[in-house]
Structure 1
Amino acid sequence: MTVLAIDDVRKTFNNGEVAEDILKGVHLALNAGEVTALVGASGSGKSTLLTIAAGLQQASNGEVIFDGHNMTDMSAEQIRQIRASQFGFIFQFAHLVPFLTVEEQLLLMLDVAETTLSKKAQLQEVDRILVLVGMSHRKQAYPASLSGGEKQRVAIARAIIHRPKVLFADEPTASLDSQRSKEVMQLIHDMTKELQIATLLVTHDEEMLIYADRIIKMTDGLIN
């Protein structure tokens, strides 16, 4: 089932008197339970496409349809609410809050997502997710005491704690060694399947593509 569709999306930046076309009419569908990997050279438009799909910037033309609704017609507040409650994000660095424990990081995400769960149910959900990502034994740890791989596991837990429909992963293994990269990508793959999330992965690491269900190549603002 298609959760998010990108229809003829174009993005033009004005560089002084010169207009530069970054995206030139991109079509892409993200499906539930599927990891879609977006690959291509630097400057091909991958990150621009991801940020437009995630509602972090607007397209110059075209539509982004989420769950049957056109985000192009939504207000900034409506898009913010979708990002907070329906989207999850994983980046190259975990960006954990240094003064919060692992448990508190996840509770904060539930608060941002404006969960309707009771406090007891929130704590139970945190425990459940930490078991899934193999971090239950580090629930009371602070980021400074975590390894790079552990931080990314917490970042994944934080990204899925509110059960998003779409997960955006932008170079999630770029700061990790080979073994930790494989562990993190296996986890992203498994969570995508188990929770039926539509995952969009941007990566330069070809070894990580074995964890993708589909591989989409971008060249000069177009999908090949």
Structure 2
Amino acid sequence: MEFFTVNDIKKAFTNGEVREEILKGINISLKKGEITALVGASGSGKSTLLTIAAGLQPASEGQILFEGKNINAMNQEQIRKIRANKFGFVFQFAHLVPFLTVEEQLILMLDVSETKLTKQEQKREVNRILKLVGMDHRKKAYPSSLSGGEKQRVAFARAIIHKPMVLFADEPTASLDSKKSKEMMTLIRELTKTLNITTLMVTHDEEMLSYVDHIIKMSDGLILQTDESTAVHQVIS
């Protein structure tokens, strides 16, 4: 079922008397339990599209429809609540809080998202999610003691701890080596399916495209092509 749609989104910046169009009328639909990848050369508009869809910046024109409501027409407090409670975010770098343990990183996210769990319930949920991402044995560790791959797993756990409906991932494997990238994409794919999340991601790495369901190729602010992927990878042991 399509419950997240981007309708005729345009984005333009004005620099003095020069108007630069970044997005020129984008239309996409996202489905539950599927991963859609935005690909294209640098400057094609894919990261701008991702941030607009996520409510991190407004579009100049068009609609971002989530559960029938236009995010692009909401005020900042309405958007903040949606981001905190129904969206999850994973970026190229983990951006973990250096003075918090792995467990505390996730508890902080639960507090921000207003999930209204008791402290005991929070700890049980943290343990459950850390086990899903293979990091339950490191819950008392600080970020400085984690490898790059472990940090990204924690960042992913933090992104899904509050049970978001949509996950936005901007180059989630760019800081990882090939093996860790494949492990990360296997994790994203499996939990997208298991938790029935809608995932929109940006990537430059063509090897990662075999893990997604749909590929949207962008160039110069336009969609060139939309392809079905053949996601056939299994769990990496």
TM over 0.5: yes
Higher deviation after alignment, 76-85 or 116-125: 116-125
Q: Per-residue deviation at 1:63? A: 0.3
Give the aligned partner of residue 147 of structure 2: 147
Number of the residue aligned with 1:55: 55
TM-score norm. by structure 2 comes to: 0.93
Q: In angstroms, what is the RMSD of aligned CA positions?
A: 0.7
Deviations 1:194-222 (A, max 9, x none): 11110001000000001100011011111
Measure the CA separation in 2 of the matches of 1:178 and 1:72.
37
Pair 1:9 & 2:9 matched: yes
Alignment-mate amino acid for residue 151 of structure 1 = K
**2:104 aligned residue:** 104
State how far apart, in whole Å, the 2-side matches of 1:98 and 1:90 are.
17
Within 5 Å, give how 1:121-200 maps onto structure 2: 121-200=121-200
Which sections of structure 1, spanning at least 5 residues, go unmatched?
Answer: none
CA contact (8 A) 1:93 1:175 kept: yes
AA paired with 1:9?
I
Q: In 1, Cα distance between the equivalents of 2:32 and 2:118?
A: 27
TM-score by length of structure 1 reads: 0.99
AA at the equivalent of 1:53: A
Asked if structure 2 preserves the Cα contact closer than 8 Å seen for 1:90 and 1:155, the reply is yes
Q: C-alpha distance in 1, partners of 2:80/2:177?
A: 34
- The Cα offsets for residues 142-176 of structure 1, whole Å up to 9 and x where unpaired, read as 00000000000000000000000000000011111
Matched letter for residue 5 of structure 1: T
**Cα distance, 1:14 vs structure 2:** 0.7
Shift of 1:177: 0.4
Deviates more, 1:118-127 or 1:172-181: 118-127
Deviation at 1:72, TM superposition (A): 2.1
Measure the CA separation in 1 of the matches of 2:2 and 2:167. 14
- 5 Å-filtered alignment, 1:54-93, equals 54-93=54-93
Q: For 1:19 and 1:41, how far apart are their aligned partners in 2?
A: 21
CA contact (8 A) 1:3 1:198 kept: no
Give the stretch that moved more between structures: 130-139 or 66-75.
66-75
SS in 1 for 2:9: strand
Q: Is the 8 A contact 1:88 1:164 kept in 2?
A: yes
Aligned-residue offset at 1:120: 1.3
The question of whether the paired residues in 2 share the 8 Å contact of 1:3 and 1:165 is answered with: no
Q: Which ranges of structure 2 fall in alignment gaps of 5 or more residues? A: 225-237
| 1:42-82 superposed Cα distances (whole Å, 9 cap, x missing partner) | 00000100010000111010000011111122111000110
Q: Say how many residue pairs are matched.
A: 224
Q: Does 1:22 align with 2:36?
A: no
- Find the residue that maps to 2:183 and give its secondary structure: helix
- 1:206 paired with 2:200, answer no
